[in-house]
Amino acid sequence: MSRHVDGAFDVVLGPQPADERELGAAIGRMTLDKRFHGALDARSEGQMLAFRSGVEGSAGYVAMERVEGSLDGRVGGFVLQHSGTLDRGAKHLDLHVVPDSGSGQLAGLRGSMQIEITGGAHFYRFDYTLPGDE
């Protein structure tokens, strides 16, 4: 049985220098620092690579972030993997727990997350399972 939690999160993006290789200037790099609120009470740090095309509303990004804290009272950590595209304004985001990345009481965690941005505020919905869930 899948469980779900929702809440808000704060995020700070830290622009990093472009890669010096020929295509590096077109690929942006950023650090991610997040604070999740609610049943997922955690902090995360990660890195993101992004590209914005010359066509309005088209872009893509990938990211990895390590989350540490508690989920429904269980303490531990896990890694989230992001892959997002914006195709002339149409959004698509795959955001999943990396298999076998869970630690502590979150060992064996599997799940996916959706993100909603409304009026500049960030919200998440996290659907997950842990070993022993029926």
CATH number for the domain harbouring residue 56: 2.40.350.10
Would residue 57 count as lying in a domain?
Answer: yes
Minimal CA–CA distance to 67: which of 77, 53, 56?
Answer: 77
Would residue 134 count as lying in a domain?
Answer: no
Pairing of strands 28-36, 3-16: antiparallel
Give the pLDDT confidence score for residue 70 in this predicted structure.
98
Give the pLDDT confidence score for residue 27 in this predicted structure.
86
Q: What is the pTM of this model?
A: 0.91
What is the domain extent for residue 63?
Answer: 3-129
Would residue 96 count as lying in a domain?
Answer: yes
Give the pLDDT confidence score for residue 34 in this predicted structure.
98
Give the pLDDT confidence score for residue 41 in this predicted structure.
98
Give the pLDDT confidence score for residue 72 in this predicted structure.
95
Would residue 81 count as lying in a domain?
Answer: yes
What total of structural domains would you count in the chain? 1
Helix (H, G, I), strand (E, B) or coil at 115: strand
Strand (E) or helix (H) holding 29: strand 28-36
In one-letter notation, the amino acid at residue 103 is: S
Mean pLDDT by 10-residue block, N- to C-terminus, for the chain (134 residues)?
94 83 72 97 96 91 98 97 95 96 98 94 97 79
Would residue 84 count as lying in a domain?
Answer: yes
Would residue 12 count as lying in a domain?
Answer: yes
